[in-house]
Amino acid sequence: MIPIKLVGSTAKSAAKPGASPAPQEGISGAAGAALKYLQPGALNLTALPPLSLYIHFPWCVKKCPYCDFNSHEVRGSFPEEQYLAALRLDLEMALPLIWGRKIHTIFIGGGTPSLMSAAGLDRLMSDVRTLLPLEPDCEITMEANPGTFETEKFKSYRASGINRLSIGIQSFNGRHLQALGRIHDDNEARRAVDIAQTHFDNFNLDLMYALPSQTLDEARQDLETALAFAPPHLSLYHLTLEPNTLFAKYPPALPDDDESADIADMVAERSAQAGYGRYEVSAYAQPGRRARHNLNYWEFGDYIGIGAGAHSKISFPHRVLRQARYKQPKAYMEAVQAGAPVQEERELAREEMGFEFMLNTLRLTGGFAPNLFAERTGLAINAIDKALNAAEAKGLLYRDHQIIRPTQLGQHFLNDLQQMFLED
């Protein structure tokens, strides 16, 4: 449902299974003095990035045929109490990795977190506040799907501290919603946005385009309906057939390349006309309404992920750690009870840092300031000079002393541009 789940892995990743969390490391003012004792290849981060918290809720009413997220059909009921207890224990065990660091943003994603009861969500938020210091203006987003919207429940979510909703509308057209296997119809989609608007001043609508047999006019109508609600943020995704989904096995009739390109052009033009700035491949925002949580991913910030299948990226003065938790909800809850929810853990190698950084930041249309590279990777920018020069020569990248960003051409051939940094 959200693009941020894709940022953590590279084709080159070789995880180290079964490793346990590392002991506590603080950022020390003596980092420079300690440098001479560093192992060859160690990093030197002068400051730690902002830290976000991701909480995964792994159940949905029904599995959508295009979905490759870690989501599982409820089939009757789900063990809310047991899962909440596991989340708390998981977080408690992760604390030594992030002692003293404040939480910049929180994202409760899934799955369908809005299946959680109001009391359950309140307990989760109270556990988080007890265990972690939150920044005063912490953005706290929850994903919600139409078909699970009840006014009282959402009022209660707001009272528990959720201050931003991300709603998986996907389409306002009943026929397309059916083709996507969604549990809601067009009326429920509109009702969900109405309820969100009543209780939340900050919300995002997820919309997909290039849907099975969708015409340009139908895509335009979907976007116009969304714009009529004046959402602060829009995520506009091109439907893609992901491996290991029902759509990959039985592909529906999709618009051809030319038709898809026309729809994508219309989406870009119309959203800009309506005052939405496109700041990432699929993310559009009114001024001042960018998603701070997602931005932290794209700026190669840190995140601690708890819950089934959640990923973490945590920086220390001289290394960057990646973790993945057990994916199946049952296996995850058992692993938490056994004191080891992390299934895979590894340190990023110095040689991987440039690609990992660029994989994320090149998604941003405005790019990044060169000093962010040194701050987040612990390397000098000339570590990726060869690839920067090559990308610039091909017209894929613009760079000066203040900014490095993909050109229009680079945005169009983003995969190729990112790959250049893998080879560097």
Sign of CA dihedral 315, 418, 55, 152: positive
Closest approach, Cβ 143 to ligand SF4, in A, equals: 8
- Only one of the segments 8-16, 26-34, 77-85, 107-115 lies at the binding site for ligand SF4 (rule: CB under 6 A); that segment is 107-115
Alpha helices in 327-407 (DSSP H): 329-337, 350-361, 370-377, 385-393
- Only one of the segments 57-65, 131-139, 289-297, 371-379 lies at the binding site for ligand SF4 (rule: CB under 6 A); that segment is 57-65
- Which of 141, 145, 271, 377: binder of ligand SF4 (CB under 6 A)? 145
The reply on whether position 114 binds ligand SF4 by CB under 6 A is: no
- Which of 54, 57, 69, 355: binder of ligand SF4 (CB under 6 A)? 69
Q: How many residues bind ligand SF4 (CB under 6 A)?
A: 12
Q: Which is nearer to ligand SF4, 140 or 167 (CB)?
A: 167
DSSP annotation string for 44-68: --SSPPPEEEEEEE-EESS--TT--
Place of tokens 């560097």: 424
Tokens of 224: 């116009």
Closest approach, Cβ 245 to ligand SF4, in A, equals: 9
- Which of 2, 56, 71, 80: binder of ligand SF4 (CB under 6 A)? 71
Q: Which is nearer to ligand SF4, 16 or 330 (CB)?
A: 330
Residue 316 sits at φ, ψ, to 5 deg, of -130, 170
- Only one of the segments 105-113, 133-141, 228-236, 296-304 lies at the binding site for ligand SF4 (rule: CB under 6 A); that segment is 105-113
d(CA 373, CA 299): 9
Q: Which is nearer to ligand SF4, 114 or 377 (CB)?
A: 114
Binding to ligand SF4 in span 164-223, by CB under 6 A: 168
Of the candidates 147, 13, 1, the residue with the CA atom closest to the CA atom of residue 422: 13
Q: 38, exposed or middle or buried, with CB in 10 Å at 0-12, 13-18, 19+?
A: middle
The reply on whether position 112 binds ligand SF4 by CB under 6 A is: yes
The reply on whether position 113 binds ligand SF4 by CB under 6 A is: no
The reply on whether position 146 binds ligand SF4 by CB under 6 A is: no
The reply on whether position 148 binds ligand SF4 by CB under 6 A is: no
Q: Are 306 and 35 in contact (CB under 8 A)?
A: no
The reply on whether position 314 binds ligand SF4 by CB under 6 A is: no
The reply on whether position 238 binds ligand SF4 by CB under 6 A is: no
The reply on whether position 360 binds ligand SF4 by CB under 6 A is: no
The reply on whether position 247 binds ligand SF4 by CB under 6 A is: no
The reply on whether position 141 binds ligand SF4 by CB under 6 A is: no
CA distances for 413 relative to 4, 272, 420, angstroms: 19, 21, 11
Residues in contact with 342: Cβ distance below 8 Å, sequence separation at least 6, in sequence order: 19, 20, 21, 323, 324, 325
Of the candidates 185, 186, 285, the residue with the CA atom closest to the CA atom of residue 235: 285
- Which of 55, 67, 108, 353: binder of ligand SF4 (CB under 6 A)? 67
Q: Which is nearer to ligand SF4, 49 or 168 (CB)?
A: 168
Q: Within a 13 Å sphere around the CA of 93, how many CA atoms are in the beta-carbon half?
A: 20
**DSSP-derived secondary structure letter, 340:** -
| Site residues (vs ligand SF4, CB under 6 A) | 1, 60, 63-64, 67, 69, 71, 110-112, 145, 168
